[in-house]
Structure 1
Amino acid sequence: MDIRQLKYFLTVAEEGQITSAAKRLNISQPPLSQQLKLLENELGVQLLIRNSRNVELTEAGIILRNKSEQIIELTKSAIRELTDLNKGFKGTLNIGTVGSCDVKILPKKVYDFRQKYPNIDFQVWRSDSFRIMDLLNNGILDIGFVRAPFNLKLYDSVLIEDKISKHYINDPMVAVAKHEFYKEISEKKISLEELKNSPLIIHRRYENIIIDACTKKGFVPNIVCKNDDIVSSLTWANAGIGIAIVPKTSSDLMYNSDLEIKEITEPAMESKSYLIWIKNRYLSNIARNFIESFRVES
């Protein structure tokens, strides 16, 4: 199995047809079919179900597709790093970002950076902090904008500040629930004390922040569910099980729901934003200079 075979396989998976894949690869159909068959024989599994007009991925094919995407992206990353080392400030910077930084920080920072380094291109992944850290760990991203907390032993970081407002980029926590959970509370904000006896649905990532804030207010939160996914929290809240506590920028992940959102007036539960990168891993000159632009006062 080699990179060329993986590229052939991915092209077929994307096109859904061997004929159109061969055309896209600028090769004839028989050699492409032969390479796919050799790949299946080497791996000892069937990757494709061949129909009269198209092909479908088997379960093994789906697994190989996902792994192949990572392998090829890592190969491209290695080539980019070597090219950058040889040529200097020309190449691509791969960035992951949460919504708050994507809106408030990244556009202006990228604009300023390109004024200094016009030959730099950018690829941006907008997602949640967990996904961004996963992409960093797999070498897909060079740097990532995430919300605290994160593993300080694994990542180096810079706390992000909005140079215009001179405030750190915080993402307040909000309470998301059906209307009946709020009873007589009509304001758009809610105090932590008002959630004292309410059934809470939380993400494990924010468990310590929430429990510490409640403890300082003199009560133990009534947590009925802990999970690893913001959408799950919102789904349970939409089912009427309890009140989901999530970052404000993640509170709109569910559409067509009857959920009400109220900002929690508790500064200790705000989640600060950081620019992070893997410790002790090669960083391109492009990434190093981009990081440095956050350390230097504008």
Structure 2
Amino acid sequence: MDEKDWNAIRILYQEKNISRASERLYISQPALTYRLKNLEKEFGTRLFFKIKGGIEFTSEGIHLVEYSEEMINKLQKTKDYMINMQNEVKGTLRLGVSSNFAQYKLPKILKKFSTKFPNVQFNINTGWSTDIINLLNSATVQLGILRGNYEWYGKKVLLHKERLCLISKKEIDMENLRELPFINYKTDSSLKALITGWWHDRFSEPPFVMMETDRLETCKEMVKNDLGIAIVPEICLQPSDNLQIHELFYNNGEPVFRYTWLMYNQDSLKLSIVKNFIDFLNENPNI
């Protein structure tokens, strides 16, 4: 097996479909099928079998997937350290970033960092924070930027904090929120728990939910059109939204904050590209 085989097995396991896997690998289906048959011949066993709509891996195939993941990580670490030994800030920085932070904050950060270090490339994975913590645990990324509180055995640094806000098109009475149509949106468990915790702290009855949207931005557009109220993190709000914004407080008077954390393994600091990016974030807290 070589690097191409490792990657093919990994992508195929993620997709469970030869057509989609070949698209991601930028090779034809026959070429991928030929490579897979050669692997089965090399190991003398079935790696997967066809099911309706895709494929399923055998136990031998899953073992090979785990081996491939391990070898890809080892090879990437070797490349990282070889580049690091040249005492230059270059190579590929692998980041896992929470979707909202990636949308509203990350582009400016990467633009300014790449201007300072033009020989750096970026490999960015975005998603919910639960996805990012999994990428960190598997060493798929070198640094994670997560929103909410998650257990992490490595370094965990507070990167950003913001208020949680209730938004509406028109001025409203905050004491009568239970009577107003409430708009929900899909988000990670930590933000959902924060919103639910504040509501239960203030009201004994649940909100009158009249709409569920797939994204925060869709929810915000509904509020702009006066279809209801919503609770959102401050990071997504702009003056051009022209919305009524109410910062939230608990009954004891404490503000409701949403925290963003930078997480990484201590060993990653041995890489100049990682250390310089962390230093850059610390030196530019208001980007």
Provide the TM-score with structure 1 as the length reference.
0.60
- The secondary structure found in structure 2 opposite 1:58 is strand
Instruction: State the partner residue of 1:294.
Output: 281
Could you tell me which runs of 5 or more consecutive residues in structure 2 were left unpaired when the two chains were aligned. Answer: 13-17, 232-245, 250-254
Structure 1 position 213 matched with structure 2 position 198: yes
Instruction: State the partner residue of 1:262.
Output: 230
Structure 1 position 107 matched with structure 2 position 92: no
Give the Å deviation of 1:15: 2.8
Give the Å deviation of 1:106: 2.0
Could you tell me which runs of 5 or more consecutive residues in structure 1 were left unpaired when the two chains were aligned. Answer: 23-28, 161-167, 176-184, 225-235
Give the Å deviation of 1:208: 6.0
Provide the TM-score with structure 2 as the length reference.
0.62
Contact 1:100–1:171 under 8 Å retained in 2: no
Instruction: State the partner residue of 1:191.
Output: 174
Instruction: State the partner residue of 2:48.
Output: 47
Q: For residues 211 and 21 of structure 1, what CA distance do their matches in structure 2 show?
A: 47
The amino acid of 1:280's aligned partner reads Q
Contact 2:181–2:229 under 8 Å retained in 1: no
Query: Which aligned runs of 4 or more in structure 1 are off by greater than 6 angstroms?
Result: 196-203
Instruction: State the partner residue of 1:181.
Output: none
Instruction: State the partner residue of 2:216.
Output: 251
The amino acid of 2:32's aligned partner reads A
> Which residues in structure 2 correspond to 1:3-22 (within 5 Å)?
5-7=5-7, 9=9, 13=18, 14-15=21-22, 19-21=30-32
Alpha-carbon deviations, 1:227-275, whole Å to 9, x = none?
xxxxxxxxx9757xxxx9xxxx952478xx998452464153341323x
- The secondary structure found in structure 1 opposite 2:190 is helix
Deviates more, 1:186-195 or 1:97-106: 186-195
Alpha-carbon deviations, 1:52-107, whole Å to 9, x = none?
xxx96334388568657744542343123222332232210011222332243322
Structure 1 position 278 matched with structure 2 position 233: no
Instruction: State the partner residue of 2:39.
Output: 35
> Which residues in structure 2 correspond to 1:231-242 (within 5 Å)?
238=211
Alpha-carbon deviations, 1:130-157, whole Å to 9, x = none?
1111111111111122212233654421
Q: What is the alpha-carbon root mean square deviation over aligned residues?
A: 4.7
Sort the Cα spacing of 1:90 and 1:281 in 2 relative to 1 into closer, same or farther, 3 A.
same
The amino acid of 1:75's aligned partner reads K
Contact 1:189–1:265 under 8 Å retained in 2: no
Instruction: State the partner residue of 1:117.
Output: 117
Q: For residues 210 and 267 of structure 2, what CA distance do their matches in structure 1 show?
A: 40
- The secondary structure found in structure 2 opposite 1:126 is strand
Sort the Cα spacing of 1:128 and 1:58 in 2 relative to 1 into closer, same or farther, 3 A.
closer
Contact 1:94–1:123 under 8 Å retained in 2: yes
Q: Aligned residue pairs: how many? A: 245
Q: For residues 132 and 11 of structure 1, what CA distance do their matches in structure 2 show?
A: 18
Instruction: State the partner residue of 2:84.
Output: 85
Sort the Cα spacing of 1:32 and 1:194 in 2 relative to 1 into closer, same or farther, 3 A.
closer
